[in-house]
Amino acid sequence: MTATDAPTLDTPDAQAGLVPARRRFTPPSSALGLLGLVGFAVLLEVLPRTGIVSRDYFPPLSAMVTAMVDEVQTAGFWDAMTETLLGWGIGLGISLVAGIALGLLLGSVEVLRRYTASTIEFLRPVPSVALIPLAVLLFGFQLQSTLLLVIYASFWQVLIQVLYGVQDVDPVARETARSYQLGPVARLRYLIWPTALPYVMTGVRLAAAVALILAVTAGLVGVGRGLGAEIAVAQSSGAVPLVYGLVITTGLLGVVINLLARALERRTLSWHSSMRADIGG
């Protein structure tokens, strides 16, 4: 902040972990969070039991868990899980490779970037679910249908972030690289890629979340198999506790994917001074 002043310790409250003396006891956030989760679980159990909400629509948590415990012992569940994870993983992988390659190419070649900008701006907001009927016609109920939806949705997340990242290359560094006559490969390796990496990781995180949404949705609307299809079957056969159990399962899957993506981001960027907010995305 200050231009002429060396950093000082003028404000003790700016020092790590120091708070004004009046606030004595604040429990650590993880304990409160756990309390919140437990409270939420109790609510899920008690509300239906007291009859405040109908058990037909909203079975107690214990019933959901029981249904889920039965479900995980069936082979069908694990097939569905595998199918969803395959659609998610393969689709995400293709999006990453394509998005990063195309992003680096378009980002580093000024002419290409300018001439493709409007097309990207038009295609990006096209909702991937618009492709559902097309996917069904082309691939029926095969994995390719799911992949089409997953890739279309997650590809743009990666591409856009990579484009932002390449644009963020410091002008001075660019000039320096030019004056030392670095070749295209060296420029990519030592200049563009390190700058773009934090953005790429943001893209990976966003794309991983979107890919899961579409992998589950595909099954839900009858395009693919997987967990979404399990939910749809459970719903149409009136197995309400199982519907809840499966939805909770997809939620937990989402949490795990999110945590993994964040861990990957932190590991990759541990050298980086500032973890960027994804406001620019």
Partner 1 sequence: MSDPTATPTGRTALLDVAKVQKTYTGQGRTVEAVRDLTFSVGNGELVCIVGPSGAGKTTLLKVIAGLLEPTSGTVTLDGTQVTGPPPSMAVVFQEYGRSLFPWMTVEQNVELPLKQKKMAKERRAELVRDALEAVGLAEAHSAYPWQLSGGMQQRVAIARAVAYQPQVLLMDEPFAAVDAQTRADLEDLIRSLWHKLGVTILFVTHDIDESVYLGERVLVLSSSPTVIMEDLTIDLPDERNQLDTRSSPRFAELRHHVYEQIQLAKHRRGGEPAPAGATGASAATTPA
Partner 2 sequence: MQTVLRWGRSLFVALALPVVLVTLWWVLSAGSTNYYSPPLQTILTTFGEVWFGPRLVDDVLPSVTRLVIGYAGAVVLGVGLGILLGANRTLRRLTEPVLEFFRAIPPPALIPILFLFAGIGDTAKIIVIVFGAIWPVLLNTVEGVRAVDEVLSDTSRSYGVSGWARMRHLVLPSASPQIIAGMRQALSISIILMVISELFGSFNGLGFAIIQFQRSFAIPEMWSGILLLGILGFVMSLLFALFERRSLRWYHGLRRSQRGEK
Long-range contacts of residues 85-90, Cβ cutoff 8 Å, at least 24 apart: 85/215, 86/143, 87/143, 87/146, 87/147, 87/150, 87/215, 87/218, 87/224, 87/226, 88/150, 88/208, 88/211, 88/212, 88/215, 88/257, 90/143, 90/147
Non-local (6+) Cβ contacts of 280 within 8 A are 164, 199
- Site for partner 2 contains 274 (CB under 8 A): no
Closer CB to partner 2, residue 68 or residue 215? 215
**Cβ 259 to partner 2, closest distance in Å?**
9
Q: Which of 203, 194, 125 is nearest to 163 (CA)?
A: 203
Task: Candidates 15-23, 184-192, 207-215, 238-246: pick the segment binding partner 1 (CB under 8 A).
Answer: 15-23
Work out what residue 3 binds among partner 2, partner 1, none; the CB cut-off runs from 5 to 8 Å by kind.
partner 1
Taking CB under 8 A as the criterion, which residues in 108-147 touch partner 2?
114-119, 121-134, 136-138
Site size for partner 2, by CB under 8 A?
66
Cα–Cα distance measured from residue 104 to residue 96, given in angstroms and rounded to the nearest whole number: 12
CB 199 within 8 A of CB 270: no
Among 20, 51, 171, 238, binds partner 1 (CB under 8 A): 20
Q: φ, ψ for residue 60 (rounded to 5)? A: -65, 155
Among 97, 109, 186, 252, binds partner 2 (CB under 8 A): 252
Cα distances (Å, whole numbers) of residue 142 to 83, 135, 136, 210, 224:
10, 9, 9, 20, 6
- Site for partner 1 contains 13 (CB under 8 A): yes
Closer CB to partner 1, residue 22 or residue 267? 22
Task: Candidates 35-43, 72-80, 177-185, 266-274: pick the segment binding partner 2 (CB under 8 A).
Answer: 35-43
Q: φ, ψ for residue 135 (rounded to 5)? A: -60, -45
Q: Which residues bind partner 1 (CB under 8 A)?
A: 1-6, 8-13, 15-22
Interacting residues with partner 2 (CB under 8 A): 26, 29, 32-37, 39-40, 57-58, 114-119, 121-134, 136-138, 209, 212-213, 215-217, 220-221, 228, 231-232, 234-235, 240, 243-244, 246-248, 250-255, 257-258, 277-279, 281
